[in-house]
């Protein structure tokens, strides 16, 4: 069995940006978009997901992080009703899954493990077939919906090309277009920027922000931590099937900084001397790259007396120590913790592609 998880930071449950109705499958606006309680999945006695308590606030852009094989995709499959759970419960848009799947899933767009496309059909005809499979879709307006989705993901010019001739990035775009054929309350994306070039990544980021601004909750997993950091308001970290922490990105960053995982950056033409001095003053994980030296700061001490500036004073002391040692300091400052810092501290391992 894996070791007990780190203390969990419950995600807040703010009201979503738009009110939901009270019809079948609808939930009050304050309910989470996704909520699991003790969600568990075992395969032949091995726990793939172990007692997951996850809360995804409505209107959030929620990053789901974890190393390869940690249970992220298994969790997404249970949320979407693709596989059953061994124990625990899951609610999506306020309704229990999988029992309420027929009511809930029309309000959910999903792109999981890459799109399943008909290679012999054009991009446009693939979307027309997806749209025709939706019993609530009006055939009279199908062409309009398909055209709008293609425009939204930047595939209008390639709509007539056979899907088998699409690049990986184009296929990802087409899968995303299928998820956006109708307005969605929740969008679930598994590696949405997989195969995209930097311009394509920027476009998908902008699209996710646009969807969130319109009130759509976006739940996405990715191995690109800086990508998630740019667009997510909330995040959760899993390892070995268990939830380690969750909350707003700002809260998670602050937690790591409080634990002493902030990073000092020094720009100097004397990197070797700077590393020597900083090592002597308790910095760890020091790395020199050209004229830039970075290292992890030790935990800040509590103020010893009135007027003691705590961390600010310690930084000033480090700068003074460098100058006294003859190190020419051209730049000196701290970097806030990144999602990568958070991930490594919580899991003790590097990040691999989605599991």
Q: How confident is the model over 101-121, as a mean pLDDT?
A: 88
Q: Between 342 and 125, whose confidence is greater?
A: 125
| Residue 313: partners with Cβ closer than 8 Å, 6 or more residues away | none
Work out the percent of the chain whose per-residue pLDDT is above 70.
78
3-state secondary structure of 97: strand
> Tokens representing 227?
């990508």
Q: What is the pLDDT of residues 259-274, one digit of tens each?
A: 444 678 999 999 999 9
CATH fold of 34-248: Rossmann fold (3.40.50)
Q: Which helix (H) or strand (E) holds 55?
A: strand 55-56
Q: Which residues pair with 292 in a beta bridge?
A: 267, 289
Nearest by Cα to 168 from 209, 113, 228: 113
How confident is the model over 216-262, as pLDDT tens digits?
999 998 767 777 778 899 999 888 899 988 999 888 766 654 544 46
Token pair, residue 83, equals 């596989």
Give the pLDDT score at 67: 79
- Which alpha helices (H) appear in 72-215, and where do they start and end? 72-79, 101-104, 123-132, 142-152, 168-179, 198-213
CA 197 to chain centroid: 19
**In this predicted model, which residue has the larger pLDDT, 337 or 258?**
337
| DSSP 8-state secondary structure symbol assigned to residue 281 | T
Query: In the chain, where are the structural domains located?
Result: 34-248, 263-335
- Which of the two residues, 66 and 247, has the higher pLDDT score? 247
Q: How far apart are the C-alpha atoms of 318 and 330, rounded to whole Å?
A: 14
Q: Say if domain 263-335 classifies as CATH 3.30.70.100.
A: yes
Does 107 sit behind a cis peptide bond, omega within 30 degrees of 0 on the bond before it? no
Write down the pLDDT at residue 342.
65
pLDDT at residue number 277:
94
274-281: which pairs have CB atoms within 8 A and are 24 or more residues apart? Answer: 274/322, 274/327, 274/329, 276/325, 277/321, 277/322, 277/325, 277/327, 278/318, 278/322, 281/317, 281/318, 281/321
**Residue 153 Rama label (left phi>0; alpha psi -120 to 50; beta):** alpha
Given a contact cutoff of 8 angstroms between Cβ atoms, the answer to whether 101 and 94 are in contact is no
């Amino acid at each position: 069995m894996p070791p007990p998880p780190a203390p969990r930071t419950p995600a807040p449950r703010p009201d979503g940006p738009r009110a939901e109705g009270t019809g079948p499958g609808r939930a009050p606006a304050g309910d989470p978009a996704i909520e699991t309680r003790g969600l568990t999945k075992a395969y032949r006695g091995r726990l793939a997901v172990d007692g997951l308590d996850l809360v995804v606030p409505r209107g959030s852009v929620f990053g789901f992080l974890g190393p390869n094989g940690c249970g992220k995709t298994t969790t997404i499959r249970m949320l979407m009703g693709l596989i059953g759970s061994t124990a625990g419960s899951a609610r999506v848009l306020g309704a229990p899954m999988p029992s309420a799947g027929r009511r809930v899933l029309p309000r959910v767009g999903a792109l999981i493990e890459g799109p399943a496309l008909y290679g012999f059909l054009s991009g446009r005809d693939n979307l027309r077939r997806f749209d025709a499979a939706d019993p609530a879709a009006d055939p009279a307006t199908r062409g309009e919906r398909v055209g709008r989705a293609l425009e939204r993901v930047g595939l209008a010019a390639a709509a007539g090309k056979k899907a088998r001739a699409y690049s990986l990035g184009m296929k990802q775009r087409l899968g995303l277009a299928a998820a956006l054929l109708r307005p969605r309350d929740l969008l679930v994306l598994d590696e949405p920027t997989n195969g995209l070039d930097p311009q394509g990544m920027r476009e998908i980021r902008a699209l996710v922000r646009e969807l969130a601004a319109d009130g759509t909750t976006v739940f996405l997993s990715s191995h690109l931590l800086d990508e998630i950091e740019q667009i997510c308001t909330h995040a959760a970290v899993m390892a070995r099937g268990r939830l380690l922490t969750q909350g707003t990105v700002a809260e998670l960053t602050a937690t790591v900084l409080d634990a002493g995982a902030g990073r000092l950056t020094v720009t100097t033409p004397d990197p070797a001397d700077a590393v020597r001095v900083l090592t002597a003053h308790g910095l760890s994980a020091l790395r020199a790259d050209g004229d830039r030296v970075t290292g992890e700061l030790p935990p800040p001490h509590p103020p010893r007396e009135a007027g003691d500036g705590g961390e600010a004073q310690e930084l000033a002391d480090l700068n003074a120590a460098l100058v006294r040692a003859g190190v020419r300091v051209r730049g000196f400052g701290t970097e806030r913790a990144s999602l990568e810092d958070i991930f490594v501290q919580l899991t003790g391992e590097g990040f691999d592609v989605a599991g």
